[in-house]
């Protein structure tokens, strides 16, 4: 059987790396297929913490499926083509394991597609492993747990599904970690922004959405101190303006998320600030505004922008 | 909980009616939701045979989800919006159960989506019922079996998945029918074309595909005698030309499928006949050509057209 590449989205976060790692394991162990988990970018600091903790090398970074000689790929934690590998339209998508909205995705042939509105793609991989009767090794369970913790901010995000706490408890048991202790350590590993240049900071976890013809970049950084990040506003705005010019974004929306108190500050620049303001019913002052209770890009930012930008 | 409407595609075939009927049953029995199976058109003669055989009334035909007062819908056996309810963009798609390619589909929010490259949407509904630990009543199993038989031409189409024969055997057992006998009777019930006007004939099982900006209508009729259908070519071509003018199709491709010998005659009219010919490497003579071994629109016609029309 021809080789399959399994990968999460560009600018991979922990769930992207973990779900592709776990799904490739299932492809090999449960279904006997030749599957390799790769990544569309280097792991961020949070993911590096998880990989190091469970003794797993970082996945190989690939830029082209065709150059790898594969004709079939499996996408985890994303489906939108602009978030995927550069030559996604040149290969066949054999499967998608995801927990996002569906958009800018199409295939010529029927495929396996498993989307559930749960807290992480890793949650779905875990459920599939149980259905397949596979006992996960400690390090695979540990990575899937890390993906779930990362995407749900330790089960506190509104994206957390009612089935996720049980998934987390089972994975923590297999992985041999204390959920709360390991979870907080993992999240804190991702808040070390001081070591990052402004260019790096706005690209840690950023995705582009096509909203009614506009290319809207929505980035998110986690912190334990919003004010500390805002001290670098001038430098960050310069980086955002450069990205807008270089990449042709219409707008750039940065969520600065306080993982302890579960709020976000929104810093936004671009040509549709009226639509950004109406999306969140707030007024940007000096290009930013507070969004109480908002921690989820997927539930609390992207649908509101989609609605405001119009279909 | 708010009411959910569950429905298959426009011009419903047996799998569209059966899979929506079965999934609505699961929503109610397995998950306690208020779900009603409806249809986007009247059952065809094959489906009417199955409904009558298992003593089920035809599903209510609806034209607008908004008019029904629902805000969430579940799609079975389709995902492309142009094959769905007229106001699909006005409501939220809560779930999709399908076995087709994905195209012209998008959501603002995460959803439950279960696609498998198997012979029928009914096969997936049956698998889900087993996973949920639900014992299907005879009539639900009978309808799901009918959907699978219809879509795979009694397991002979190349769309038949290796897991489908076992699904068919299990469903036949629950439904209390002999698979071969019931299957042939069901398929033959759908080949009574003499009673149909040409306008009706080209609309029995027809779907529109957007191929590189072209609106391509691909219809299929089942018969036990291709020549008998071709005797009505002039009348059928007049109906096709009227449909092209009225609906703005760029092309109309009619598959006349011999269910006994598993071949199709292709009758095609429109502005891209060069692309239709190159798709199948044949030459249309008097607007038609023989396609040996072709019985599946999904596997043997649409991908070839998609490729030929270009992305």
A205 is in an annotated binding site: no
Tell me the chain A residues in contact with residue B104 when contact means C-beta distances shorter than 8 Å: 106
Minimal-distance CA residue of chain A relative to B115: A113
For residue A42, the tally of other CB atoms under 10 A from its CB is 13
What's the whole-number average pLDDT of chain B?
Answer: 95
The pair of three-digit structure tokens given for residue A302, joined into one six-digit string: 């992207």
Whole-number pLDDT of residue A1: 62
Residues B108, A298: C-beta atoms closer than 8 Å? no
Task: Please say if the pLDDT value at position B311 is more than 60.
Answer: no
Residues B89, A311: C-beta atoms closer than 8 Å? yes
Q: Pick the range with the lowest mean pLDDT from A93-102, B1-10, B164-173.
A: B1-10
Buried b (16+ CB within 10 A) or exposed e, B214-247: bbbbbbbbbbeebeebeebbeebbebbeebbeee
B251 is in an annotated binding site: no
Percent of chain B with pLDDT over 70: 99
Task: Please say if the pLDDT value at position B176 is more than 80.
Answer: yes
Residues B303, A109: C-beta atoms closer than 8 Å? yes
Residue B116 contacts A where some CB pair is shorter than 8 Å: yes
Tell me the chain B residues in contact with residue A1 when contact means C-beta distances shorter than 8 Å: none
Give the global pTM.
0.86
Interface pTM (ipTM) of the complex?
A: 0.83
Minimal-distance CA residue of chain B relative to A79: B106
Residue A210 contacts B where some CB pair is shorter than 8 Å: no
The pair of three-digit structure tokens given for residue A19, joined into one six-digit string: 């779900």
The string of pLDDT tens digits covering residues B227-248 is: 999 999 999 999 999 999 999 9
Task: Please say if the pLDDT value at position B1 is more than 70.
Answer: no
- Fold of the CATH domain B4-189: inorganic pyrophosphatase (n-terminal core) (3.90.1640)
* Model confidence band, residue B2 (pLDDT cutoffs 50, 70, 90): confident
C-alpha of B51 from chain center: 16
The string of pLDDT tens digits covering residues A38-67 is: 999 999 999 999 999 999 999 999 999 999
**Rounded mean pLDDT of B277-305?**
95
Domain residue limits, chain B = 4-189, 198-309
List, run by run, the mean pLDDT of 10-residue segments along chain A (311 residues): 92 97 97 97 96 98 96 97 96 97 93 97 97 96 98 94 98 98 93 91 92 96 94 97 97 95 96 97 97 93 94 57
Whole-number pLDDT of residue B141: 98
CA distance A123 to A119: 7
A4-189 and A198-309 share one fold: no
Give how far B196 is from chain A: nearest CA, Å.
Answer: 32
For the structural domain made of A198-309, what CATH number should be given?
3.10.310.20
The strand pair at B251-258 and A251-258 is best described as unpaired
**Residue B127: how many CA atoms within 13 Å on its side-chain side?**
19
**Rounded mean pLDDT of B210-227?**
94
Minimal-distance CA residue of chain B relative to A307: B108
The residues pairing with B50 across neighbouring beta strands, listed in sequence order, are none
Of B89, B114, B117, the CB nearest to A110: B117
Residue of B78, B103, B108 for testing the chain A interface, max A β-carbons within 10 Å: B108
Q: Where are the alpha helices (DSSP H) in chain A?
A: 14-29, 45-53, 121-131, 138-152, 164-175, 179-189, 198-201, 226-230, 233-247, 273-280, 297-300, 302-309
Residue A163 contacts B where some CB pair is shorter than 8 Å: no
Whole-number pLDDT of residue A306: 93
Residues A110, B298: C-beta atoms closer than 8 Å? yes
Report which secondary-structure segment, H or E, holds B224.
none
Write the CB contacts of A294 (distance below 8 Å, at least 6 apart in sequence). A255, A257, A263, A264, A266, A300, A301
């Amino acid at each position: 059987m021809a080789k399959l590449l399994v990968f999460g989205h560009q600018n991979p976060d922990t769930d992207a790396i973990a779900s592709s790692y776990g799904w490739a394991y299932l492809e090999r162990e449960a279904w006997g297929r030749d599957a390799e988990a790769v990544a569309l970018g280097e792991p961020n600091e949070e993911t590096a913490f998880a990989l190091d903790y469970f003794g797993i090398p970082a996945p190989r970074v690939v830029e082209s499926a065709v150059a790898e000689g594969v004709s079939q790929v499996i996408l985890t934690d994303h489906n939108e083509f602009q978030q995927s590998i550069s030559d996604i339209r040149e290969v066949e998508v054999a499967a998608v394991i995801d927990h996002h909205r569906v958009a800018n995705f199409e295939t010529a042939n029927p495929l396996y597609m498993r989307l559930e509105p749960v807290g992480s793609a890793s949650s779905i991989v875990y459920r599939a492993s149980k259905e397949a009767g596979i006992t996960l090794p400690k390090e695979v369970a540990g990575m899937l747990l890390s993906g779930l913790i990362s995407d749900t901010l330790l089960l506190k995000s509104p994206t957390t599904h009612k089935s996720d706490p049980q998934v987390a408890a089972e994975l923590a048991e297999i992985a041999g970690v204390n959920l709360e202790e390991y979870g907080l350590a993992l999240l804190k590993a991702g808040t070390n922004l001081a070591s990052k240049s402004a260019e790096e900071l706005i690209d840690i976890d950023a995705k582009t959405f096509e909203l009614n013809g506009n290319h809207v970049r929505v980035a998110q950084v986690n912190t334990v101190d919003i004010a500390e990040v805002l001290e670098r506003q001038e430098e960050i705005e310069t980086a955002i303006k450069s990205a807008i010019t270089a990449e042709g974004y219409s707008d750039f929306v940065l969520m600065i998320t306080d993982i302890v108190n579960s709020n976000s500050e929104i810093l936004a620049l671009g040509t549709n600030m009226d639509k950004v303001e109406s999306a969140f019913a707030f007024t940007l002052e000096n290009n930013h505004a507070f969004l109480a209770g908002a921690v989820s890009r997927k539930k609390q930012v992207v649908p509101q922008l989609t609605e405001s930008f119009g279909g």
